[in-house]
Every structure is written in structure tokens, then in C-alpha cells.
A = this chain, B = another copy of it.
Amino acid sequence: MYRSAASLLFVLMVSLVAAAADRPNIVLIFSDDQGVDDVGCYGSEIPTPNIDRIAKQGIRLTNWYSASSICTPSRYGLLTGRNPSRSRDQLLSALMFLSESDAHRGIHSDEQTIAGVLGQAGYTTALFGKWHLGHGDPAFMPMNHGFQISKGHTGGCIDYFTMTYGIQDDWYEGSKLVPKNGYATELITEEATEFLESQRDATKPFFLYLPYNAPHFGKGWNPSKGETVNIMQAQAKDLQRVASIRDKVRREFAAMVVSLDDGVGRVMQSLDQTGLADNTLLIFLTDHGGDPTYGGSNRPLRGDKATLFEGGLKVPCVMRWPQKIQPGTESDAVLSSLDLFPTFCEVASVDVPASAVDGQSLLKHLVDGDPVPSRDLFWQTGQHAELDRGSWTALRRENLKYIQDQKGREYLFDLKRDPNEEMNLRQQDPVAFDRMRGHARQLAGSLAPKE
């Protein structure tokens, strides 16, 4: 009897391990404030050979929407598969690291992340980089939201050289605040490659989330004023590689991009060297549009980060999955970062939890080119007095997009004919305008959590 049970257990374990080994790894690289004009294969003058290589070896998506045009809600949507308008703390603006009230806001334990779901399904889950879903309370932090391993910063940005927000330390290893010096982009890359090396012979698949802070501006310190200051923080060697860009801020931004792209390259190299590449879905995308004040560019799209014009929402997204995604594929299907949660579930053969209601799995589209059913894409941003931002609302349904900006101005665009949102159809097509506005208002009312 004993022997029989042991044999059974052995068979069970072997098959479990085999199943685990079959399940693909997922590496999700998520950059910050990098617009469609800031990635080489999307037309940027900034060289990003490694990101471009993901596209060449996989798929380049040309109609990819972020879950928000602002950091915190974009990350909320990415990790929960839920429209940020549903978030319990109404995370529709950037959580501010030094704000007293924001210390009490963040992602809650019942707002399930993809890391939590994959972890429960046997994945090793790791985060290296920026969190920005709550900093004031350990309850908000990554290790309490599904990440078994986490190292990085909780605030929206960091001093790239001292891992401080201004002068305040903000680099955690799990729940432990640790002083750190180096260059943030390189530190994140080093953690990633060390992690991948540790997974070389692992029996479990892994989900590696790499939210680089780059090429977002750094949060420096003005010693004479005793206050934080937003500054570009590029390294000498990277500046020399983009020296042909004459505008100082754009050049510094570009230097931060090439450092990030180096990181992507090193992650790809690690995947190759560890033999993990073939069984890994590798994704690079950005959190939302770039901020031209700090060197980003969303040309030719209208609008920037924190607006709900296309420039704020439409982002570069490339994926590679050898033997699954056909190399050199392009798709202009209308897709969203909200879709990654259910996609990852399907990739990992896990049921999508009921909470992740706002996306749809892209697996068959990515692998087989199946069409993606049309659905509404809806965005809201919140008031943010400190950043002088007002509330926006936008809805994309089929090719129409309705926008209400922070000053209450309203727009209707036909993105098929007018992808750069130059012609407001509000007067020209009042029926469609009213219909879209009605839908948007209805969604705005229905998504917010009922207390």
C-alpha cells in the first residue's frame, strides 16, 4: 500500500513538473513615459535595436492602447486586467510619493494581480523596477500583491543614481528599504539577468515583470532650495551614443532610452544563454505616451502623457514567442494593455478570474492571426491639482473616439480617417457625437466602485 501510494505520488509529481516545464515563461518589460516616436521600429530617430529585434523576431502592434495615459492607473490596468476606473481607491492620477493623503491609497488585496494568479498557478513571480501602486503602507507593496520576489522603487520616479526620491530612500528588496547607488536602469537589468540565470534549471515557469523607470525623468534634489527637482539623468557613455541629437533634453532622453534598450538586449541575451528564450513570451511595451517637456515624443499623434488624445494612449508594443508568434508579423488590431491579464492566463492555462473583466485574451490573434472582436475602450483620468491636471474622459468604439478634455471641451474623431485627431466631428456629426457621449457617460457612471 505504501509503495503504491509513493509510486502514485511520483507519477503525479513527474507529470506536474512536466506540465510546469511546458507552461511558457512570461517576461513583461514595461517602460515609462516612452511614446510612439521614442522607439526605433515605430519611426523614432532614437536607436533601439534590441526592442526592434523583438518585433523582427515576433510581432509589432500598431494600434495598442495603454490602460491609461498616467502611470498609476496604467499599471493598475496592466496588472489587474481591470479598467482603472474600477479601482477601489480611484487610482486615476499619479500617486505622489510625498503626498500625505496618497500615503493611504494604493492597490488593495482584493484587487487581484496577474502576478497573484500566476503565482497561485505555480509560477515564480518577480518584479524589478517601479511599482507606483502604493508606497505608504506595506499592504500596498508588491510582495503583498503576488510578487514573490520584488526589488525596486515604490514612487513614480527616482533619482537614477542614488535610488532616492529627492533625498528620501525608495529602493526596496521585498519589504526592506535598502540604500542603493548605481544607475537605476542598469540595476534593474542586473537584477533581471541574475533572476533569469537562477531560472535556468527551474522546474517552475516564471513571470518576470520589469517596469523600468527609464526614460522617465529622474527625481533629483536641489540642495540650495531643499526640494525635489525633476531632471534628466543620462549617463556619459549613453549621451555620447546619441550626440547627434542637438536638443539637450531630447538628447538626454534618448540617452536614457538607449540605456533601457541595452537592458532589453541583455535580458534577451540572458534568455538565449539560459536556453529559456524558446519557451518565453517576451513583451516590451510602454506605460503611456511620452512627455515632450522631458524629451519624449508622440509624433505624429496628437496629445501627450496625461491627455486622452492618441498621443497619450497609443503606445509601442512588441512581442516575441518563438514557434508561436510568426516572426516579422504586424497587426493593426485595436488592442489594450488590459488584454494582457487574460492573455497571460490563457498562455499559462489558468482560468481568468472573475475580477479581470476588461480585457480579452489575444492568444489566438497573436498566434493564429484570428481577428479580435471589437469592444469599447474607455479611459478616465482624475483631477490632479499638484500636477495641474484636470479630469479627462475618452471612449473608443469601433473607429469613433469621443473625448472630453480637462477644460470640458468635447471632441469626436474618426480614427480610421483621422488617426492624428485633427478634425473634430462634433458639429458635423451630432448624432454620433451624442451617442458616443452618452456611452461614455454611462460607462463613467457604471465603472466606479459602489461603496
Contact = CB atoms under 8 A, between A and B. Distances in A.
A231 B220 contact: yes
Given A248-B164, A248-B167, A293-B224, A181 B229 contact: no
Interface string A175-187: 0000101110010
Given A223-B294, A246-B179, A162 B239 contact: yes
A251 interface: yes
Contacts of A186: 236
B217 A223 contact: yes
Contacts of A224: 230, 293-294
A249 to B, nearest CB: 5
A168 to B, nearest CB: 9
Given A222-B229, A223-B232, A243 B167 contact: no
A293 B182 CA distance: 23
Given A167-B249, A239-B162, A293 B223 contact: yes
Given A179-B243, A243-B181, A231 B221 contact: yes
A58 interface: no
A186 B240 CA distance: 13
A183 B232 CA distance: 15
Contacts of A181: 236, 239-240, 243, 251
* Of listed A162, A183, A251, residue having the most chain B CB within 10 A: A162
A134 interface: no
A42 interface: no
Contacts of A221: 231-232, 248-249
B295 A252 contact: no
Interface string A389-406: 000000000000000000
A87 to B, nearest CB: 27
Interface string A77-113: 0000000000000000000000000000000000000
Interface in A251-271: 251-252
A29 interface: no
Q: What is the oligomeric copy number?
A: 2
Contacts of A235: 161, 235-236
A440 to B, nearest CB: 31
A295 B167 CA distance: 13
Interface in A201-238: 217, 220-224, 229-232, 234-236
Contacts of A249: 167, 221, 223
Contacts of A182: 236, 239-240
Contacts of A167: 248-249
A234 to B, nearest CB: 6
A203 B232 CA distance: 46
A177 to B, nearest CB: 13
A224 B219 CA distance: 12
A272 to B, nearest CB: 26
Contacts of A222: 229-231
Contacts of A236: 161, 181-183, 186, 235
A100 B223 CA distance: 26
Contacts of A159: 248
Interface string A133-169: 0000000000000000000000000010110100100
A103 to B, nearest CB: 21
Interface string A285-296: 000000001110
Contact of A161 (B234, B293, B294): B234
A319 B114 CA distance: 64
Contacts of A162: 239, 248, 251-252
A235 B246 CA distance: 22
B231 A231 contact: yes
23 contacts: A159-B248, A161-B252, A162-B239, A162-B251, A167-B248, A179-B243, A181-B236, A181-B239, A181-B243, A182-B239, A182-B240, A220-B231, A221-B231, A221-B232, A222-B229, A222-B230, A223-B230, A223-B232, A223-B249, A223-B295, A224-B294, A229-B229, A229-B231
The 4 nearest A-B residue pairs measured at CB: A181-B239, A183-B236, A167-B248, A182-B236
